[in-house]
């Protein structure tokens, strides 16, 4: 056992992608941000008239799903999502995308398409993927499953700082509303709701620095690899 799959799931803005990126870099693994894929489909829906009067038109979106082509391309070593050939990594974090992504993610056909693509990207192993259903649905046999949690206050603060660093200014109250709404839809939807896999280990990173959370994961990975060698 050398190149394993590491599944990282958890609520919105608790630092899953940051952690997944750190872990992937540490082990020289491929990092896949599954949330970016759902966000890119949402951007496509918004750009193609599939959101009307504040609601996602499920039928219209499903009908044109075959026109959605997603790809990660690396820039300075960091994968960036491309939608139909265009880099949309920054665009999917702002505007209306955060408000509609959980509605789009609840659609069965959208999930089927993206889960197939996620599995295809990981056939060689050596992957760190973060999202909501990675340990439960996408890779139920992943060697290591981590369920990340953090207090709501710290999640709001982290998202605020993340957006601010990108020059996007959003009120903290609006961030709180968005995180609560998405967590509600993500945990209560019928298709692959956000759940902790029974064999996942919990990482509460409320009080941890980035370095400490990386060390925590590295220790778990090493002990797992040693166990499998002995």
Residues that bind ligand CDP (CB under 6 A): 12-13, 16-17, 34-35, 38-39, 101-102, 105, 131-134, 182, 186
CB of 105 to ligand CDP, least distance (A): 3
| Smallest gap from residue 131 Cβ to ligand CDP (A) | 2
Give strand ranges (E) for 121-210: 127-131, 144-149, 201-204
Q: Tell how strand 55-56 and strand 51-52 pair up.
A: antiparallel
The residue (of 102 and 205) whose beta carbon lies closer to ligand CDP is: 102
Tokens, residue 209: 């620095």
d(CA 58, CA 229): 48
Radius of gyration of the chain (CA): 17
What φ, ψ does residue 43 adopt, rounded to 5°? -60, -40
Task: Report in angstroms how near the CB of residue 216 gets to ligand CDP at its nearest.
Answer: 19
Nearer to ligand CDP, 2 or 11 (CB): 11
CB 128 within 8 Å of CB 29: yes
Three-class secondary structure of residue 112 per DSSP: helix
Contacts within 8 Å (CB) and 24+ apart, 171-179: 175/13, 176/152, 178/12, 178/98, 178/99, 179/11, 179/12, 179/13, 179/152, 179/155
| Ramachandran assignment for 109, one of left (phi > 0), alpha (psi -120 to 50 degrees), beta (any other) | alpha
In this complex, which beta carbon is closest to ligand CDP, that of residue 89 or of residue 133?
133
Instruction: Give min distance, CB of 16 to ligand CDP, in A.
Output: 6
Q: How far apart (Å, rounded) are the C-alpha atoms in residues 87 and 29?
A: 22
Question: Smaller CB distance to ligand CDP: residue 4 or 101?
Answer: 101
Instruction: Identify which of residues 145 and 182 has a Cβ nearer to ligand CDP in the complex.
Output: 182
At closest approach, how far in Å is the CB of 136 from ligand CDP? 10
Please state the closest distance from residue 155 (CB atom) to ligand CDP, in A. 9
Nearer to ligand CDP, 21 or 132 (CB): 132
């Amino acid at each position: 056992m050398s190149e394993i799959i590491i599944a990282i799931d958890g609520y919105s803005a608790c630092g899953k992608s940051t952690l997944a990126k750190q872990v992937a870099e540490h082990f020289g693994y491929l990092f896949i941000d599954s949330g970016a894929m759902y966000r890119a489909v949402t951007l496509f829906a918004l750009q193609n008239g599939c959101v009307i009067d504040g609601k996602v038109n499920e039928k219209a979106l499903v009908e044109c799903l075959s026109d959605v082509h997603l790809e990660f391309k690396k820039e300075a070593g960091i994968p960036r999502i491309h939608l139909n050939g265009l880099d949309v990594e920054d665009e999917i974090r702002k505007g209306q995308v955060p408000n509609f992504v959980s509605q789009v993610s609840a659609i069965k056909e959208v999930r089927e398409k993206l889960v197939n693509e996620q599995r295809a990207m990981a056939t060689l192993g050596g992957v760190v993927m973060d999202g909501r259903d990675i340990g439960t649905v996408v890779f139920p046999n992943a060697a290591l499953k981590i369920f990340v949690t953090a207090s709501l206050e710290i999640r709001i603060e982290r998202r605020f700082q993340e957006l601010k660093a990108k020059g996007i200014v959003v009120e903290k109250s609006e961030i709180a509303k968005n995180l609560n709404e998405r967590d509600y839809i993500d945990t209560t939807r019928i298709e692959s709701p956000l759940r902790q896999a029974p064999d996942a280990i919990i990482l509460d990173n409320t009080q941890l620095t980035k370095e400490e959370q990386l060390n925590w994961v590295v220790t778990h990975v090493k002990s797992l690899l040693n166990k499998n060698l002995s």
